[in-house]
Structure 1
């Protein structure tokens, strides 16, 4: 390879970097040629006006706002703040978000019967005004309840409509709006109108209103205490479920919507002084922001003030990292971690994040006193000692001393040791821009950009960039991919650094997650966690919207060697089951990593909550289903691109004894462009363990007989 501006031939990537460093090429980076004389310049267009004002249209958001204070049956205690909450939500939408009033359907008290609530959600499916991916909000303030199923000992959550009867009855009138019914309605709505759906519930979604020692009598609880003999008739469920009854409403990981709920499963949603404490805090935060287009669902919940009661709002759903009411995900988020000073040591701090999320020794962070990343930072810290979920930090040599009240917040600015993408670039002068960009990035890695180091082709690179037929190609070196015949990504791109560079950035994040494993417990946790995949079949049963219910058929497709073979010609659909054989509950996240396009797709994510007070994904000695049954999520299909006969992907299951927010790991394919940017607060007793399980997914065409 000839570096033409200094007339030096090079034979290694290190030589290229050296000469780029000491003898930078002229700009632009083009090989010198004799250019033809330019044509006479055309007459200049008139300058733009001093100010151009383009009025923004009212947002195309549609909402169903439900508030119930007064109940028909005297056995259901009335509330005093649910209607006020609904009215305030509607006012906020009209005054601040500028939603057209005709786009809002409101149900108050006697208007909010079971039939009407279900019918209004169903009606949105066929509303011609609602276009694909228009934002939809469903808000409910009122009572929740938890009832036993007639033919089993299991219980199921429900919303309590105006005409609910707290007695055992076989009649459909008087029943609650069951969580499975809502799940099906939302899934069908998402199929028709897209998954830009926000559901907000200010009610208890599990336990009874029984008072505890912690209960404050000045608060009212939004939950109905049902009699011991209360039963949900089997026929109510027969068209709304495929396997076991869900453990709670809308398990995290649902792809159809984002759920903001007032409390954890076993907590109380409470109201005081004529308002629900959750809705009042939520609207207060949004009103302070003055806008909904700059904050994600996760960040919104994380920024809520202390509610003053034992109530911890939750954020659930695959799309919880999206901007509010926006179908476009933000990637990656600028994540803020909570930070506290180590007792008795003024120079040592503890970060509430560790190895499980990728923090390494040498990682550097900027420190803020609050969650506002645009405020002035007070100092900088470097990671000295990492553990699974926490990191011991000290001030960097150039950081001033600083004081924190109770806690601070840290934004990662430099990744630590061992986080680099090993990249090999063909020695071709046409790739000089790529060499230059990689050189510029080396030593300047930040939290959103994992490191890239240049290596030779024989030094175990993760990826090889080369030129073929005047296009850039990306050669795969992963041994598993090569074993099954995938040696090149099925995309060729122009020799254009603006296209190539985002692909390299996406590759750095992709290969980091692929190789991310626990170094501290040698697979201990994974030994008693089982990941299974099944083909799904129709059960012959249908829900009320004529959607077929699914159940597993056949054996587990994941072999003992950790490989899952799929024949895409079968056009099968697949679901997953995660079983926890430990006697302690666990958290879980499941991703699919596509080796052909570098995308990272979440199949299941746990919810998020303020201070990370989140219900476990996997109760002790229990299981979670994905794509069928009660666990949420959608079944999956696999396909081969027209140019492929085989494709390789990886299922990456991450499990831990403590909550870890992995939602910012997802990414769209960087071919040709990916998404980036925002701020999420992540805070931080059981043994501190985390682990991963990696399954290879081999997709093939069947051979002709």
Structure 2
């Protein structure tokens, strides 16, 4: 669709990610970023907010529709951390390739992750893991587009994740001091001592920890964004689709920077994010499950291609409800696995002054799922059956005065 002057069409709510007027589905987990010339520099329209790091490499294509059907025109590299801004990055051509002329539709696709994205792994020097070490050594020499490297380390202080051998199966040890406070030091699931089962978990963990730990402090976000989590109760009303309307009640469960709730599939929760600043802002929110490395989207700011999107959080008190109201997101419940008395997940809000496509962040668990701990509830709608009767009065002559 061509750009329409003074109009910025976009889709909000539960259907915002459906494909409209297009038979081509987006490529899962891969996002092309526009690239243009800024003077004599190649400027990619993605930066630290998108997870760009020093050493990352990007392949150039004429447009986003040809990435699967044609070879790349050249490879760009992020040469230094100074080249990375919040929303743009200055790229350099890798190697000795000559200058490239960009078109209006030119875009780049990440083909190599930077070193800061690597997963540092602590594992025992045990001959039972020899096949795993051989596989990791081979992988480090090969190119795996978009995949983060797995690098074994010897010091626990440097590691993000650990491996242990338990009853000849592989267990995954968590080195997060915030979770150790609650006694959570190991993933409850194990896998067979087989690289084909271990490697997918390690790749999932690398993706999980990289996005989880991209924490950035900003004075405006810290002081002007208010987050509330409240219990939801159903009203007697229903919306135009026949779904129950919920309303928040009681105190804010967010106290001292922590949300503490009692897990139950019958208790529903909702969130309200308020922007008290004088800047229009955009919001993306994801739930990181520490027990299975899954990342569940709670809210993704809608994208509209070449059109400008309306801010998620408008300035001076604008707010977005999640789980109720106009946010287009159903209520949330939290549930525990059998034989588990406590669980801790992280809800991460990404707040930006520009709309950022973070659709590559969500991921399913690399384990065999045991069940969802954070569940977005879809409330059943009333059956719809009705008729409309419109009388048609037929006259030979019009009524006087009409």
Check whether TM > 0.5. Answer: yes
**Whole-angstrom distance in 1 between the partners of 2:5 and 2:60:** 29
- Aligned counterpart, 1:559: 255
- Unaligned stretches of 5+ residues in structure 2: 375-402
* 2:48 paired with 1:352: no
> Cα offset for 1:341?
1.5
The structure-2 alpha-carbon separation of the partners of 1:497 and 1:331, relative to structure 1 and needing over 3 Å to count, comes to farther
Preserved contact between residue 332 and residue 448 of structure 1 (Cα < 8 Å): no
Secondary structure of the corresponding residue to residue 508 of structure 1: helix
Secondary structure of the corresponding residue to residue 125 of structure 2: coil
Preserved contact between residue 354 and residue 389 of structure 1 (Cα < 8 Å): yes
- Aligned counterpart, 2:284: 589
* 2:50 paired with 1:338: no
Preserved contact between residue 599 and residue 670 of structure 1 (Cα < 8 Å): yes
* 2:109 paired with 1:403: no
**Whole-angstrom distance in 2 between the partners of 1:436 and 1:320:** 44
> Cα offset for 1:669?
0.8
- Aligned counterpart, 1:426: 124
- Aligned counterpart, 2:206: 508
TM-score normalised by L of structure 2: 0.82
- Aligned counterpart, 2:400: none
* 2:130 paired with 1:437: no
**Whole-angstrom distance in 2 between the partners of 1:543 and 1:509:** 38
* 2:348 paired with 1:652: yes
Which of these residues, 606, 617, 630, is aligned with residue 301 of structure 2? Answer: 606
Deviation per CA, 1:279-312: give whole Å up to 9, x if none: xxxxxxxxxxxxxxxxxxxxxxxxx4x3465544
> Cα offset for 1:622?
1.0
Which of these residues, 325, 341, 351, is aligned with residue 629 of structure 1? Answer: 325
**Whole-angstrom distance in 2 between the partners of 1:539 and 1:432:** 60
Secondary structure of the corresponding residue to residue 637 of structure 1: strand
**Whole-angstrom distance in 2 between the partners of 1:480 and 1:491:** 20
**Whole-angstrom distance in 1 between the partners of 2:164 and 2:26:** 30
Preserved contact between residue 317 and residue 606 of structure 1 (Cα < 8 Å): no
The structure-2 alpha-carbon separation of the partners of 1:569 and 1:311, relative to structure 1 and needing over 3 Å to count, comes to closer
Report 1:178-257 matches (<5 A).
none
Preserved contact between residue 593 and residue 652 of structure 1 (Cα < 8 Å): yes
RMSD of aligned residue pairs (Cα, Å): 2.6
> Cα offset for 1:413?
1.3
> Cα offset for 1:320?
5.8
TM-score normalised by L of structure 1: 0.48
> Cα offset for 1:407?
5.1
Which of these residues, 361, 364, 368, is aligned with residue 665 of structure 1? Answer: 361
Secondary structure of the corresponding residue to residue 200 of structure 2: helix
- Aligned counterpart, 1:314: 10
**Whole-angstrom distance in 2 between the partners of 1:517 and 1:443:** 30
- Aligned counterpart, 1:90: none
Pick 1 or 2: higher relative contact order, CA cutoff 8 A, min separation 6: 2
- Aligned counterpart, 1:477: 175
Higher helix fraction (1 or 2): 1
Preserved contact between residue 229 and residue 252 of structure 2 (Cα < 8 Å): yes
Deviation per CA, 1:354-403: give whole Å up to 9, x if none: 00011122221111122211223221211240100000111112434321
* 2:90 paired with 1:392: yes
Preserved contact between residue 318 and residue 602 of structure 1 (Cα < 8 Å): no
Deviation per CA, 1:623-652: give whole Å up to 9, x if none: 100001111201111111113221110000
> Cα offset for 1:541?
3.5
* 2:182 paired with 1:489: no
**Whole-angstrom distance in 2 between the partners of 1:437 and 1:322:** 39
Secondary structure of the corresponding residue to residue 274 of structure 2: strand
**Whole-angstrom distance in 2 between the partners of 1:625 and 1:568:** 21
**Whole-angstrom distance in 2 between the partners of 1:624 and 1:361:** 34
The structure-2 alpha-carbon separation of the partners of 1:569 and 1:636, relative to structure 1 and needing over 3 Å to count, comes to closer
Preserved contact between residue 303 and residue 357 of structure 2 (Cα < 8 Å): yes
Preserved contact between residue 321 and residue 330 of structure 1 (Cα < 8 Å): no
Preserved contact between residue 331 and residue 666 of structure 1 (Cα < 8 Å): no
- Aligned counterpart, 1:20: none
> Cα offset for 1:497?
1.9
Report 1:154-169 matches (<5 A).
none
- Aligned counterpart, 2:273: 578
Which of these residues, 363, 367, 381, is aligned with residue 76 of structure 2? Answer: 381
**Whole-angstrom distance in 2 between the partners of 1:501 and 1:585:** 42
Preserved contact between residue 264 and residue 334 of structure 2 (Cα < 8 Å): no
Report 1:144-163 matches (<5 A).
none
Deviation per CA, 1:646-686: give whole Å up to 9, x if none: 1110000000000100122101111049xxxxxxxxxxxxx
Secondary structure of the corresponding residue to residue 567 of structure 1: coil
Preserved contact between residue 220 and residue 277 of structure 2 (Cα < 8 Å): no
Preserved contact between residue 314 and residue 610 of structure 1 (Cα < 8 Å): no
- Unaligned stretches of 5+ residues in structure 1: 1-303, 674-696, 698-705
The structure-2 alpha-carbon separation of the partners of 1:578 and 1:545, relative to structure 1 and needing over 3 Å to count, comes to closer
The structure-2 alpha-carbon separation of the partners of 1:399 and 1:334, relative to structure 1 and needing over 3 Å to count, comes to farther
> Cα offset for 1:544?
7.6
The structure-2 alpha-carbon separation of the partners of 1:321 and 1:540, relative to structure 1 and needing over 3 Å to count, comes to closer
Preserved contact between residue 425 and residue 435 of structure 1 (Cα < 8 Å): no
The structure-2 alpha-carbon separation of the partners of 1:445 and 1:319, relative to structure 1 and needing over 3 Å to count, comes to farther
Secondary structure of the corresponding residue to residue 208 of structure 2: helix
Deviation per CA, 1:596-638: give whole Å up to 9, x if none: 0111001111111112621111111211000011112011111
- Aligned counterpart, 2:231: 535
> Cα offset for 1:472?
1.3
**Whole-angstrom distance in 2 between the partners of 1:429 and 1:323:** 50
Deviation per CA, 1:429-483: give whole Å up to 9, x if none: 2222222222223355655312322112523321111110122111111111111
Preserved contact between residue 324 and residue 330 of structure 2 (Cα < 8 Å): yes
Deviation per CA, 1:543-566: give whole Å up to 9, x if none: 588753211111111112x11112
